[in-house]
Structure 1
Amino acid sequence: MKITQISEHIWSLKIWILIPIHVWVVVDEDGVTLVDAGLPFMAKGILKFIEELQAGPLTGIVLTHGHSDHVGAIEKILAVTQVPIFAHRVEIPYIEGELPYPRRKKAAISVAKQRTQPLPENEQGELQSIGGITPYFTPGHSPGHVVYYHKQDQVLLVGDLFTAKKGILRKPMAKFTGDMEEAIRSSAIVSQLKPLRLEVCHGTSVLQPANQLDTYLKS
């Protein structure tokens, strides 16, 4: 597992299985939040790194979405430390196997039922900050996909909203994307937030991603 500090408060943990798979550790005053949970065999390395970081305990896991390569280490992590798991309320029925993901024939449980709770919302339905990062609803790759923005570090953790190669924004993998047109519309979040740095699950870091968005939309 390759570990890289990408900003003051955020570390990227990466493995490579045909393609890169990233999860992120975010530190705030209360401890550590894990963004996505990769594959099952990543659990040991994730927990070891959090212990060595000495920035406080793991306080929760937040998911960009519920596909298997984003939730795989959850059970092994929960066997060691019981922490809450959060995802967008729209995503939870798919995670729990009540609904099949778009373009898939069968529903499948990716996280055991009643393990995942909705990301906090205010009375207007706006997603609230959690673990020092703010979620934004970006459906398309999956029905309840979200991205997480660290305002102080100006880093956007986008899960599978994009892929990237050599610092260039690319579309999410079509084979696993439920609604590509909706995913492309959701990319507008980059223009709204204008992060200094964007991190994808599958690919490389992207600097000043808003400068690439017009080209991305035309590709």
Structure 2
Amino acid sequence: MDSNMRQSNDNKFIPMTSVSTGNIWQVRPDVHYYTNQIVNFVMIGTSSHWVLVDAGMPKSSEEIMGVAKSVFGTMARPAAIVLTHGHFDHVGGLVGLLEAWRVPVYAHPLEFPFLTGQQAYPEPDTSVEGGMLAKISSIYPHEPINISGANLKALPEDGTIPELPDWHWVFVPGHSPGQVALFRESDRTLISADAVITVKQDSFYKVLMQVEEVQGPPRYLTTDWTAAWESVRKLAALNPKLIIPGHGKFMEGEALTAGLQKLVDEFDTIAIPSHGKFVDGKK
């Protein structure tokens, strides 16, 4: 392994699951996603050319490579990896994947400190209003990974995505400083990262059973609620027909349209917690 490439110092297996764990969903002819415990990663393309979006939970690299082989064949290797952001559940298998694949990784420059070992994310807020998964969030890794020895590249400023000419990236901070979503105009498919999710991520029961509801970002790791609300407005304005969230099941149709509008209108009561160390001047 490259001496400058390592997972975080607090990287560890997190014993969490959901009824969707292990499922591969094909939601467009060239778009698949897989639920790795409680988070989704996405594969865009065909066996001749595809891109991986996000890198799963800690210790998941072998699982991700196995899923890729089941979709694209035994020689499956992406043209690139795109990261929506660098939280532990989106980069958990990244180093192992890069050891095997040696492909470029694209992310927003504001995420680079958390991807190059320079800066840790704020510790999860166990005091925030929410369910059991918020209360035990201190077990979640927050230290930075270091892929400075890999081919880490900034997403182009013009919104294009290398290796995905039909897609563009959308800046959606709030949950993390440099979070991005991915959108394809032709069929209005949105990969929303954690800016908009379809499960209440702090509730143990709802995560376990994958109860579908349009929600804002996970409360225990969201540090800027003003930016998070603006990011939801930005994604709703795209009028997506289908959404693949970072957490929860894909959603489409009237349920998505109505759920997004309700979240935009009532974000302060649906998404923003009544208390927590990152809540400032909610009311």
- TM bucket, shorter chain: 0.7 to 0.9
Question: What's the offset of the Cα at 1:103?
Answer: 6.1
> Are 2:31 and 1:10 aligned?
yes
Tell me if structure 2 keeps the 8 A contact 1:140–1:180.
yes
Question: What's the offset of the Cα at 1:72?
Answer: 1.1
Equivalence for 2:172: 138
Question: What's the offset of the Cα at 1:31?
Answer: 0.8
Counterpart of 2:28, as a letter, is: S
Structure with the larger strand share: 1
Match of 1:127 among 159, 172, 191: 159
Segments of structure 1 that go 5 or more residues without pairing to the other structure are none
Tell me if structure 2 keeps the 8 A contact 1:11–1:26.
yes
> Are 2:233 and 1:188 aligned?
yes
Match of 1:59 among 79, 83, 97: 79
Equivalence for 1:206: 251
> Are 2:112 and 1:112 aligned?
no
Equivalence for 2:39: 21
Counterpart of 1:9, as a letter, is: D
> Are 2:112 and 1:92 aligned?
yes
> Are 2:221 and 1:176 aligned?
yes
Question: What's the offset of the Cα at 1:87?
Answer: 0.4
Q: Could you say if the C-alpha distance between residues 71 and 168 of structure 1 is closer, same or farther in structure 2, counting changes exceeding 3 Å?
A: same
Match of 1:159 among 175, 184, 193: 193
Taking structure 1 as the reference length, the TM-score comes to 0.85
Equivalence for 1:39: 57
Aligned Cα RMSD in Å? 2.5
Question: What's the offset of the Cα at 1:67?
Answer: 0.6
Segments of structure 2 that go 5 or more residues without pairing to the other structure are 1-21, 126-141, 200-210, 271-283
Matches of 2:87 and 2:227, distance apart in 1: 17
Matches of 2:195 and 2:112, distance apart in 1: 18
Ranked by relative contact order (alpha carbons within 8 Å, sequence separation 6 or more), the top structure is 2
Matches of 1:48 and 1:94, distance apart in 2: 27
Matches of 2:96 and 2:123, distance apart in 1: 29
Sequence identity percentage? 26
- Deviation per CA, 1:153-185, whole angstroms, max 9, x where unpaired? 421111111221344211111110111221111
